[in-house]
Chains A and B, each alone.
Chain A
Amino acid sequence: MMRSQSKSVCLCAVLSATGLMVSYVESFVVLPYGIPGIRIGLANIATLIALYLLGGFYAFIVTVIRVMLSALLFGSFSSFLYSIAGACLALLAMTVFKRLGFSIYSVSVAGAVMHNTAQIAVAAVLMSGVYLLWYLPVLIFTGVMFGLLTGFLADILVKRLSKVLFSTGEGG
């Protein structure tokens, strides 16, 4: 798929901004479970779109910008550490699963599960609490469920956006 670099940079900026706002809005949604770390992960849709339309490099940029701005605006340094660890490992998992030829659903699920696993692992290391790993089964389950949801949404968006953005004279 041929495309100009300025188009990629623009889309990258739009996706970063969208991801930031979506994750901010999502922080108001309180899920009725007593376990911290369960999130829908809607911001991951922006990363998935970047990964599928622009490639791994731009997906990395989108993720880092979103996490940094989110920490600067709404979070603290410790929350930044948790977020960046989760986000980077999730992106790594998504890139690997995409290369292996899995569909966008699996890529999304892999990202969500990896994000949860990385965050609980960082928490377990920082607080030397191996007991936190007992939450892992629940977090894997919710990761699969919400990963499928975000994968479904990202699938629709990637298909439509690639038509709109790259249809003129490039033949998809």
Chain B
Amino acid sequence: MKKRDIILIISLLLISGLGYCLSVNRLAGGSAYIYIEGNLYDVYDLKQPQTIRIEGRGGIIDDVVIENNGIYVKSATCPYRECVKSGRISRDGESICCLPAQILIVVRSDEGTGYDAITK
């Protein structure tokens, strides 16, 4: 390895570390926005525990559970179940996506400050 290789690798690690620090300092989430094929399907309050059944593209069914101010996909009929493996999310800006069904679950804070306000 040459000097420039080490510089490249260290700078990439710094960028990812910086980005990670930004991403963990996010606000606690308030609502879960569920999108199907890019369109907003519904918004759920994370404070109300419930189980939702969503049908995405190609008839793929996801069972989504809301509890303890978080949300996770309990079961899905898609082939790889990446959405189930994603686990529970609860912070502002975190998301679970199911690519085959084109279902996207995003947690956003209700305060409307922080990240939301900056990017909009």
Contacts and interface: CB of A to CB of B under 8 A. Distances in A.
B37 to A, nearest CB: 8
A35 B12 CA distance: 19
Interface in B1-52: 1-2, 4-5, 8-9, 12-13, 15-20, 22-23, 26, 35, 37-38
Interface stretch (A3-11, A44-52, A131-139): A131-139
Given A34-B86, A36-B86, A127-B97, A144 B13 contact: yes
Given A137-B18, A137-B23, A130 B97 contact: no
A140 B26 CA distance: 19
A20 interface: no
A106 B87 CA distance: 33
Contacts of B12: 109, 113, 140, 143-144
B5 A79 contact: no
Interface string A116-148: 000000010011111110101110110110001
Interface of B: 1-2, 4-5, 8-9, 12-13, 15-20, 22-23, 26, 35, 37-38, 82, 85-87, 93-95, 97, 99-100, 102, 104, 106, 119
A106 B4 contact: yes
A145 to B, nearest CB: 9
6 contacts: A34-B87, A36-B86, A78-B100, A105-B5, A129-B35, A131-B106
Interface in A145-162: 148
B93 A134 contact: yes
Contacts of A168: none
Contacts of B16: 136-138, 140-141, 144
Contact of A79 (B37, B87, B93, B99): B99
Contacts of A78: 99-100
A105 B1 contact: yes
A90 B8 CA distance: 16
A108 to B, nearest CB: 10
A102 B2 contact: yes
